[in-house]
Amino acid sequence: MKKLVLFITMLSLFMVTSLTADAHPGRLDSNGGHNCSEKSKAKGLCSGYHYHNKGNEAAPSTNTNHKTPTYQSTPEPVLTTVDVYINNVKQSYNPSAYIKNGTTLVPMKAIFVSLGATVTYDNATKKVTAYKGNKKIVIGVGNKKAYVNSNGVTTTINLNHAAEIYKGTTMVPLRFVSEALGAGITFDNAVYITTK
């Protein structure tokens, strides 16, 4: 008899627990949870946003009053590499020059040196400064404005694409750099730069 009473008691507890877990109404959202109704809150069945255990899946941790964010990865853009020739000599850059959103970007130091300029880079301000003759060129990483100072007169240039960091190297817009340093540039399945 004691075993029967114990069995019925345990069965009753199991049933009450199961009923309590699903005792409040509400539709589940795509995360498997929902916000409690005011009636369910008043009865003490739940408080705020919570999840429901579906079958044998483990329920996510309970959060109150907000959804768990879902993240989608954004694929990295496919970059088209391009060959660069200066006075008909093919350049070997690491990383290679590439086209991004219609703009050809090249490694900053390599292109400036190839075009006869000296270069400094200020890591604190993320600014590149190049000097050639009486010209001073300043480009900031992430900034779509560049500055050319020639004979004491500074001109602001709006860039189609800002300088950026790629594989640890500062990449700069080729057309702007070439023209700012007085070089001609043409495109024909590769980039051809002619210095004067």
Tokens of 63: 């959060």
Across 30-59, average pLDDT: 61
**pLDDT at 63 > cutoff 80:** no
Mean pLDDT of the region 12-30: 54
pTM of the model: 0.58
Asked if 128 and 145 count as a contact pair (C-beta separation under 8 A), the reply is no
Does the structure show a pLDDT above 70 at 187?
A: yes
**Residue 5 has which token pair?**
């009473």
Residue 16: pLDDT above 70?
A: no
Mean pLDDT (whole number) for 100-113: 90
| Angstrom distance (rounded) from CA 35 to CA 65 | 7
Confidence label for 123 from pLDDT (cuts 50, 70 and 90): confident
Listed by start position, the domains of the chain span 1-72, 80-194
Q: What is the band of 58 on the pLDDT scale with cuts at 50, 70, 90?
A: very low
Please list, in sequence order, all residues whose beta carbon lies within 8 angstroms of the beta carbon of residue 135, skipping any fewer than 6 positions away.
148, 149, 150, 180, 181, 182
- E strands of the chain, at which residues? 33-35, 49-51, 80-81, 84-86, 89-90, 98-100, 103-107, 118-122, 127-132, 135-140, 145-150, 153-158, 164-166, 169-173, 184-187, 191-194
| Token pair of 26 as six digits | 């509400």
CA distance 151 to 16: 88
Q: How confident is the model at residue 188 (pLDDT cuts 50, 70, 90)?
A: confident
The stretch 117-138 carries a mean pLDDT of: 91
- 194 and 179 Cβ atoms separated by less than 8 Å: no
Confidence of residue 21 (pLDDT cuts 50, 70, 90): very low
Which of 72-86, 97-111, 157-171, 182-196 bottoms out in mean pLDDT, i.e. has the lowest?
Answer: 72-86
Q: Residue 20 pLDDT > 50, yes or no?
A: no
102: nearest Cα among 80, 131, 75: 80
Fold adopted by 80-194: Copper Amine Oxidase; Chain A, domain 1 (3.30.457)
Residues in the chain: 196
In the prediction, which pLDDT does 8 show?
A: 75
* H or E element in which residue 43 lies: helix 38-43
